[in-house]
Amino acid sequence: MDDRSSKTLRLLGGAEMPVLGLGTYPLDNEQVEPVVGRALELGYRLFDTAESYGNEVGVGRALEASGIDRSELFVTTKFNARWHGEDLVREAFQRSAERLRLERIDQLMIHWPNPARGRFVDAWRGLIRLRDEGLVRSIGVANFKPHHLQRLLDETGVAPDVNQIELNPFADRSAVRAFHEEHEIATEAWAPLGKGGELLDDPVIAGIGERHGRTPAQVVLRWSLQLGNVVIPKTKRRERLLENFSVFDFTLAANEMEAIEALSRGERAVTLDSDEFGH
């Protein structure tokens, strides 16, 4: 499914997705517009937003103002639990598409499984219909655990193109990634730099960065990319946008990858439990 040295990833459903993009939480519409504009100038083409972020309008304005051909862009958004229904998903799509000023969304996702509501499989059926109709290029989920994914497979026979999950060296999500690998689901890492401070100050990561002449953030992003993940780091600062995007011209050695993976703290490092939290 993927070439792990490439800047794009061919998804299960056939869409070609950039492997590095910009996360836009928690910027509001006014804050996000200039940030997306700067990112576009630097070469970013993947942008991740969500209904709950409240910034789809700003993202859409920046994309439209850029003048960049629509075929070069890959826009991902996610909908909330109130749209968990086979027919309701269409309205979620229509509302997001209007805010983003897009006729078609590149990737639409269920933001959280909200298993207590018991309706995420219905939402998934609605997404399959939208893809079949050509309104979205790719369909995915976010924050799903293997048992949530298995329900989708058991009840619809259709695997998500992507599962977007919290993932960084402290929370490497090895069991979830193994499930993804088995079912050809792409892994997308949100908060790929963790909480910043503690992870980026880790002496193992700092030491690897010194050997390569790279920052700790670049090392962490490179580690995730070499695992085959898509990454969507977030920042408002132009210098950080450039830093995060400059990770395709060096490679971590096998022993360096192993040293970073040894930092994992397991599932206890995951900050939100998707069996309990969701919106």
What CA–CA distance (Å, rounded) separates 176 from 223?
Answer: 17
What CA–CA distance (Å, rounded) separates 158 from 113?
Answer: 16
| pLDDT given at position 2 | 38
**Three-class DSSP category at 59:** helix
**Whether 112 contacts 81, CB under 8 Å:** yes
**Three-class DSSP category at 8:** strand
| pLDDT given at position 195 | 80
Phi/psi region, residue 54 (left: phi>0; alpha: psi -120 to 50; beta: rest), is left
> Domains of the chain by range and CATH?
8-194+229-250 (3.20.20.100)
Residue 168 structure tokens: 């960084």
What CA–CA distance (Å, rounded) separates 137 from 145?
Answer: 23
Relative to beta strand 74-79, strand 105-110 is: parallel
Backbone angles phi, psi at 24, to 5 degrees: -115, -5
Catalytic positions? 53
| pLDDT given at position 196 | 75
Please list the ranges in the chain whose pLDDT falls under 50: 1-5
* Ranges of H-type helices in the chain: 29-42, 56-66, 88-100, 120-132, 146-156, 174-183, 197-200, 203-212, 216-226, 238-245, 254-261
pTM (2 d.p.): 0.96
